[in-house]
Structure 1
Amino acid sequence: MVVQPSLLGDEPGDEDHGTTAGGLRVRGGVAPAAEDPVAVVLVETQLPHLARPFDYAVPATMDADARPGVRVRVRFAGRLTSGFILERRSDTEHVGELSTLSRVVSPLPVLTPQLLRLCRSVADRYAGTLPDVLRLAIPPRHARAEKAVLASPSARMSEVALQQAAAELDPAPDEPADFTSFLTALRSWADNVGEAHPATGTAPPAEEAALPEQLPAPGPAPVPRGPRAALGVLPGQDPGTGWIHLGMRAAAQALEAGRSVLWLVPDYREIAAVEARLGDLEPASARLSADQGQEERWAAWVSVLTGRARLVIGTRAAAFAPLSEPALVICFDDDNDSYLEQRAPYPHARQVLLNRVQQSGSALLLLGYDRSVEVQHLVATGWVGEITIPRESRRAASPLVFVPDPDGDPAQAGRLPPRAFELVREALGRTRKPTATGPVLVQVPRSGYLPVIACARCRTVVRCPQCESKVSAASILGPFACRTCGYRADSMSCRECGATSVRSVVSGVDKVYEELGRAFPGTRVIRSGGDRVLLDVDSEPSIVVATTGAEPYTQGGYAVALLLDTLWPGPGMRGTDHAISRRLRAASLVRSREHGGRILLLDEDESVRRVLTRFEPVPWAAEQWADRVGLGLPPGARTITLDGPRSAVDEVLQVLREVAEVRVLLEEDDPHRVVAACDIPAGRAVTTRLAAEIASRSMRGAEQVSARVDDPAAL
């Protein structure tokens, strides 16, 4: 039942008897619109039990502007609050007088039917509320920016210009044949001619049932489906940025067919790299990212909404970009932590894109140097096709990786081995060997991570009591963990002298920067990390010391990379996944072995070594997927993380168990936390019941429980 907020006591003391128009009673003697005088408004509230539509009367003076999708201001709980008109009606179920809309913020319908459907599916998927998702999807309005965009001509690139831009993007020498098939299928589908090519992952309708709750159910009418593919990118001819060329080739095909493209990247550095290579496609593009100012972001958002921009490039903030009919959705590095929204209901941008693809039928291209277990799940179940690269081509296009002797001198822990200095000298052209010269990348962990620790009293390297591997730590105060066997402890004691305090024996970024500067006088040493992250460096021989995730691009790729150690992954289930991803990110910036690219990998983790030396992340992802699905873990299951008082959490669990089998995977105290799981087919029923229970507890004033669905860091 649709309720009017006057029942909530939002306007105490208002005793107007109102007017009647065709049976509609309106407060304050305001004349309502002649047709469809009732506006169904979704108010922007943070209270779950009030996250539902309310009826308001439309004054006759606002009739023309108060259309579905526009942002309005209304009286709600005694305050002037923003909201969106969902629809106009001729009558209301509310008994009593209706309050009127206070004003129409803008006549521009910003909440399109497609965007509303997407936001509803995301709210359902993550047991959230629609107002919370709309807050993520639609940026704050900026009146001046909106007027400027609407006053500008709605120009489109000519077909000749688009054809020329597409023609300039010639195939790369190491481009896989399956990718050409994908482009052919994409163009055919975008032109609405024929069906997608089978090699691109166009599964028959029966295979859609493989993920009954991974994605929302199809709409009432079948949506023509575009090709979907996952492609593992290689350094090849364009180290670090080869994915841009592949994405641009696909985007040009869709744009030339008169359709639009949405392209997501992790952060501003990738956006800048893509924008620098747009060329003739720049007039058709717009940028959407959280780091933009309010005016700039709203101007870009309105440009996309009104069709002035058809190529949207952005971070997770762009996942909801209001493109009406995207022909292609591209996502690079889907497992990057930057894609996880930090505001309720905490959706992952990858899942938002998958929902969007399911609803619109658009094509999907997942690009990355690694392979996430979630994408492997889509590939294994047939929802996404896989573009494969022969092993010989993969090895030729990847750098040559060296691994030092694992039984080396323990006293050398934390020091650069002699082989590292030898490789640097060769890359700088300071030897007589005929090796490739160019910049050298030195990847070091961020501050606060100690990959190797020793006793602060006797300097003995601390080793795992279970497997004798070196122990890592988040800081000198712990916690401590072994990446080999998973051992974890909050404190450690030295086996030689019994001391409990530790020190780091691995050089941090500043120390490595100073050490290399002294070792190679006259050589330019560049630092990237912390509050000064570089986008790129020139291709002249130099040494670039960068923290994990802050490695700059360089034209033609690095000649050598020294990967000192990964950022501490912690004891979680996804720790090694992240370590491999960070290593491949750095390795992708190095030239292929054909062009003299070499890497010295100092990781002791055998999984990291195996993937990097072969440059084959797909087998690792396939192994992990099979193991986790076999154990009933994500991505083969849905997880629900509940935080709150023990009694309240137990009550919520009991309610969820009324609709499905919900098993507890992890339980912690101080504070109390439970990570539960259910099978994928039961996911929709569980999240629907969870959202209803949270709203019910909010309305009753019961003890609150914080809930997160499919939190990647839960296990």
Structure 2
Amino acid sequence: MPERQITPEPQLAAVQSALLTAPDRDDAEHGSVTLPVARVAVDVSLSHLDRFFDYAVAPAQDAEAVPGARVRVRFAGKLRDGFIVERCAASEHEGRLATLHKVISAEPVLTSEIVRLIRRTADHYAGCFADVMRLAVPPRHAATEKATPAAHSDRPRAAPSTSAGPFRHYPTGEALLGSLRRRMSPRAAWQLTPTSAEAGDWAVGFAVAAAETLAGGRGTVAVVPDQRDLLRLQQACVEVLGERSFVVLTSDLGPAARYRAFLAVLRGDVRVVIGTRAAVFAPVRDLGLLALWDDGDDLLAEPRAPYPHAREVLAIRAAESGAAVLLAGYGRTAEVQQWVDRGWLRELKAERAAMRHSAPRVKIAGDSDFALQRDPHARETRLPHEVFELVRAALLQGPVLVQVPRAGYLVSLTCQTCRDRVRCPACSGPVRVGAASAEGQGVASCGWCGRLVTDWACPTCGEHRWRAPVVGAGRTAEELGRAFPQTPVRQSAAGRVLSTVPSGAAIVVATPGAEPTAEGGYAAALLLDTSLLLLRADLRAGEEALRRWLNVVGLVRSGADGGSVLAVGESTSRALQALVRLDPDGFAQRELAERAEARFPPAVKMIQVDGRSEALAEFLELAELPGPTEVLGPVELGPSTTGDAPVHRLTLRSPLALGQALTKAVKDVSGVRSARKSEGALRVRVDPVDIA
């Protein structure tokens, strides 16, 4: 195919002209400036301008215009913020350069290591440097920057050698800690035993690993999915490291607190950072360990372009810096299994006998002829007899956790006779029933328009009665409360998430991801409506279901202390069988093999491009895709958020060996369309987390 020539648009020509034109104010000679050129990363998210631009440094700016400093420059006729990434002796551009308009702050907040990480991350996800830069560097807080920094300590509270914590329950755990102390860089996939006992305490494990790394003179970055995990890790770090030996870095902090923590890391006052997904970019000096908890959690995927995943950014940074890697979880994703198969990660897991001893006993309701003889409907009913037996026995020992996939009361209604979906007579929206009122009667209303549905008749058969095939956490809590009237029932779901519950007898009904921890661990746990998680229209449905179930098992006491878990569902389900065997790595191996056969990530490189049909047609016309690359679609997804035109999806996939070339080809097209000012925005996602 002949090389395509693209004529710069007037905006690009204006940018080039602005950079090569002297400013209106006095431009002094640069004889007194050692490196008169500043290479600047301008905060502009345009694909065809995704590069660094050269500006002249005036003698008065020489001392403050250091690499990493925040500056303001004139770009395409407007003043824009940016960062100096490098000082140079000369520029490749001919002619005179525009001078830096202003040095906002001489604090070098963008280090050379993070510049390389941002560049590689942006290229990996076919995005712009500026978009990733906003994730890596928090907004400036001037008062905090000028204030006296708080005192920190780089000495752990407890001597790391006195206890290996949970690592002592794993054959090579103490050897891994020794490697960290000796400044080596092991890379491990830590398969934790799911239990509330010490062997399953990942938070203490991260703190101990950070202490050993710190004892070796290096820093640590530990990333978790959400605030509840962060709070647990923070408590463990206080116990092991001390309050002033680490900082918390998360977007939920206020502007001053977040920037204060960032500066403490940047200036080398502290070398242990814990936080959520953006903390993976923390500028820790002499980085020795990168740790990540539960990489399968979708909260680790950035919802803004270019949609980087913390796991991939961590791997990129580890390859760049040579730091050790610790990916921990009760479950295992196909991506981690692929790295294990390639030898990039080494498995760190307990022996089978030790795992069975430490983990609670897991079984499926109605999984034997004896159980079916006692309760013939055990495989059909939602709450079989075994559920009540387990709850009754476990309440004598402590709290019982009940996981329900859906929040609400009766979240789905169908006709009692023909099983057609109950729809609102006014707008055809889904009808749901809220919690029962004081009179004991639930109120049916439309989930779209909110109208009360009082006199419904099935349009197919005329039936006036309905049934609820999907029951929410609210109704489940009500049913268990009636069955155990002397036991307190607590609920934890979106909008009202409990962090912890006391060790006394109680029933805790929670939705996935909202399960609180219990003091001393739960005596038992129930997994209800397991088929709802498995029937999700998503490639990762089985992997995600097993991950959520294992996270529940990890909150229950060990089998030696009487802990038990009962799952209600189809006993032949492969995910449930893996749960009973506590075999997430075996499940991940089969999952990876099936994805390789069906050509899905991570076995192949996949890129999804969403947009209007005209924009996708232009995309295909411009794209020079490496062969062999499969082009699937475009297919219609539905109306856009504005409702003006339907959104279509184009899917590209190629062998992993051509993944970098495919990503570059997609990014080149984005640059051409950006220079042309083509109509219709495109959403590009590389290796998307959700593939429905």
TM-score under structure 2 normalisation? 0.84
Distance in 2 of aligned mates of 1:677 and 1:173: 40
CA contact (8 A) 1:675 1:714 kept: no
Structure 2 residue corresponding to 1:578, chosen from 512, 519, 544: 544
- Residue in structure 2 matched with residue 678 of structure 1 by the alignment: 654
- Give the letter for the 2:323 counterpart: S
1:253-264 to structure 2, matched below 5 A, reads 253-264=212-223
- Residue in structure 1 matched with residue 297 of structure 2 by the alignment: 336
Q: Alpha carbons of 1:681 and 1:620: their partners in 2 closer, same or farther (altered >3 Å)?
A: same
- Asked if residue 229 in structure 1 is aligned to residue 195 in structure 2, the reply is no
1:7 is displaced (CA, Å) by 7.0
- Residue in structure 1 matched with residue 175 of structure 2 by the alignment: 181
CA contact (8 A) 1:179 1:387 kept: yes
- Asked if residue 687 in structure 1 is aligned to residue 674 in structure 2, the reply is no
- Give the letter for the 2:495 counterpart: D
- Give the letter for the 1:700 counterpart: R
Deviations 1:441-468 (A, max 9, x none): 01112337989x6741417599xxxxxx
CA contact (8 A) 1:266 1:333 kept: yes
- Asked if residue 41 in structure 1 is aligned to residue 35 in structure 2, the reply is no
SS of residue in 1 equivalent to 2:283? coil
SS of residue in 2 equivalent to 1:276? helix
- Residue in structure 2 matched with residue 269 of structure 1 by the alignment: 228
Q: Alpha carbons of 1:30 and 1:503: their partners in 2 closer, same or farther (altered >3 Å)?
A: farther
1:426 is displaced (CA, Å) by 1.2
CA contact (8 A) 2:306 2:685 kept: yes
Distance in 1 of aligned mates of 2:678 and 2:466: 46
1:692 is displaced (CA, Å) by 1.6
1:92-107 to structure 2, matched below 5 A, reads 92-107=91-106
1:550-699 to structure 2, matched below 5 A, reads 550-566=514-530, 568=533, 570-604=536-570, 606-653=573-620, 655-665=622-632, 667-669=634-636, 670=638, 671-699=647-675
Distance in 1 of aligned mates of 2:552 and 2:338: 25
SS of residue in 2 equivalent to 1:133? helix
CA contact (8 A) 1:414 1:506 kept: no
Q: Alpha carbons of 1:176 and 1:165: their partners in 2 closer, same or farther (altered >3 Å)?
A: same
Q: Alpha carbons of 1:280 and 1:243: their partners in 2 closer, same or farther (altered >3 Å)?
A: closer
- Residue in structure 2 matched with residue 516 of structure 1 by the alignment: 480
Distance in 1 of aligned mates of 2:284 and 2:611: 39
1:698 is displaced (CA, Å) by 0.8
SS of residue in 2 equivalent to 1:108? coil
- Asked if residue 281 in structure 1 is aligned to residue 241 in structure 2, the reply is yes
For the aligned residue pairs, the C-alpha RMSD in angstroms reads: 3.2
1:680 is displaced (CA, Å) by 1.0
Distance in 2 of aligned mates of 1:263 and 1:366: 10
Structure 1 residue corresponding to 2:405, chosen from 441, 445, 454: 445
CA contact (8 A) 1:456 1:503 kept: yes
Structure 2 residue corresponding to 1:545, chosen from 487, 495, 509: 509
CA contact (8 A) 1:11 1:78 kept: no
- Give the letter for the 1:189 counterpart: R
- Residue in structure 1 matched with residue 319 of structure 2 by the alignment: 358
Deviations 1:316-373 (A, max 9, x none): 0101111132111111101110100011110110000000110111111111000111
Distance in 2 of aligned mates of 1:533 and 1:398: 26
Deviations 1:509-552 (A, max 9, x none): 11122222232233222211121111111212211111111001
CA contact (8 A) 1:289 1:297 kept: yes
1:115-514 to structure 2, matched below 5 A, reads 115-148=114-147, 151-152=148-149, 155-158=152-155, 161=156, 164-172=158-166, 175-190=169-184, 226-236=185-195, 238=197, 242-278=201-237, 279-282=239-242, 283-405=244-366, 415-429=382-396, 437-447=397-407, 455-458=414-417, 476=430, 504-514=468-478
Distance in 1 of aligned mates of 2:505 and 2:473: 20
- Give the letter for the 1:262 counterpart: V
Distance in 2 of aligned mates of 1:321 and 1:354: 14
Residues matched between the structures, number:
628
- Residue in structure 2 matched with residue 702 of structure 1 by the alignment: 678
Deviates more, 1:79-88 or 1:230-239: 230-239
Structure 2 residue corresponding to 1:29, chosen from 9, 26, 31: 26
The percentage of aligned residue pairs carrying the same residue is: 40
Deviations 1:271-303 (A, max 9, x none): 111111221413211111121111111111111
Deviates more, 1:565-574 or 1:57-66: 565-574
- Give the letter for the 1:273 counterpart: R
- Give the letter for the 1:107 counterpart: A
CA contact (8 A) 1:239 1:589 kept: no
Deviations 1:458-515 (A, max 9, x none): 17599xxxxxxxxxxxx9589xxxxxxxxxxxxxxx9x96999985334311112222
- Residue in structure 1 matched with residue 451 of structure 2 by the alignment: none
Q: Alpha carbons of 1:454 and 1:308: their partners in 2 closer, same or farther (altered >3 Å)?
A: same
Q: Alpha carbons of 1:619 and 1:658: their partners in 2 closer, same or farther (altered >3 Å)?
A: closer
1:236 is displaced (CA, Å) by 4.3
SS of residue in 2 equivalent to 1:641? strand
CA contact (8 A) 2:575 2:587 kept: no
Distance in 1 of aligned mates of 2:378 and 2:195: 38
Q: Alpha carbons of 1:139 and 1:598: their partners in 2 closer, same or farther (altered >3 Å)?
A: same
1:171 is displaced (CA, Å) by 4.0
1:397 is displaced (CA, Å) by 1.7
- Give the letter for the 2:584 counterpart: P
Distance in 1 of aligned mates of 2:684 and 2:165: 47
Distance in 2 of aligned mates of 1:356 and 1:374: 17
Q: Alpha carbons of 1:339 and 1:442: their partners in 2 closer, same or farther (altered >3 Å)?
A: same
CA contact (8 A) 1:110 1:305 kept: yes
